[in-house]
Structure 1
Amino acid sequence: MSKNTASNKFRKVNVDDFDPENFKDDTVEGEEQGPNESEVNSFLTQGKNVDALEVILRHPPLGAKSQAVKDKAVNLAIRVLTSFKTSEIDGAVKSLDSKLLDVLMKYIYRGFEFPTEGSSASLLTWHEKAYNVGGAGSIVRVLTDRKRV
């Protein structure tokens, strides 16, 4: 007549995985702690701005727990972005793939939080060029991503 209800084999989804008490952040311990500052500085002194940009975009401190590490990376990124001439920005942005373009947008938005002398105008130029290449999708991905620089 009645079936055994003590069995939980009928359950397809483990509801315990969705318990807020069991939440685990998806950051990985031991991730990279940002770009290598000496490598970026050597590229900047040699005038290789595009290579310096590649270094900061390939090694963002997304998994870093320390806010000081993230601030240091953002300051380095702003220094790299402001070192470009306006005519070089378009070519540099077009050479980036979508993942690096999203990281660039993260640095741009974070740079708006710490305006310095002349950085806002440069960041607005970078934002315009990055938006022309990445579109609104890049902005949405950056604003909805939980991992911040």
Structure 2
Amino acid sequence: MKKVVMVSVFIAFAGFCKAQNTDMVSKSARKAIESSNAIYADLANKDDGSILTRYTEDACLFPPGASPVCGREQIASFFKGGPKVHVTFTIQHLYGNDKTFITEESFYEMRDLDGKKIDDGKVMVIWKNTKNGWKMHRDMFSSNHPAK
């Protein structure tokens, strides 16, 4: 009997661990993140600060080869005058819960406005559920290629 109880506890624990390591976010949260990702580059290309609508008030970027960029003013400066590009994001995994935070693992592909591929890489974003919906709270990205 003791073995049956122990095996049952182990199976339940293993199931719980598996649930924590797979995509367990709601369809509405996934849709909100996918929608935000779809317009991300368009907002950055406007060069008018509208990209800030994707971020929390106390967000931080972690760009490759640079110090963290935190706060609305610094994030706006980071994007100001940036290259005009199209970016597509392919979500690999979403972890977390719909009440507080979701972590996104994605791949990106960046093209110039003529469609020529410029770069590809990976992204890790921590999304925060705010009163205004899902916003990027921490945004880390890097190329798959060595720095030039």
TM-score normalized by structure 1?
0.29
Which of 1 and 2 has greater Rg?
A: 1
Q: Which protein has the bigger helix share?
A: 1
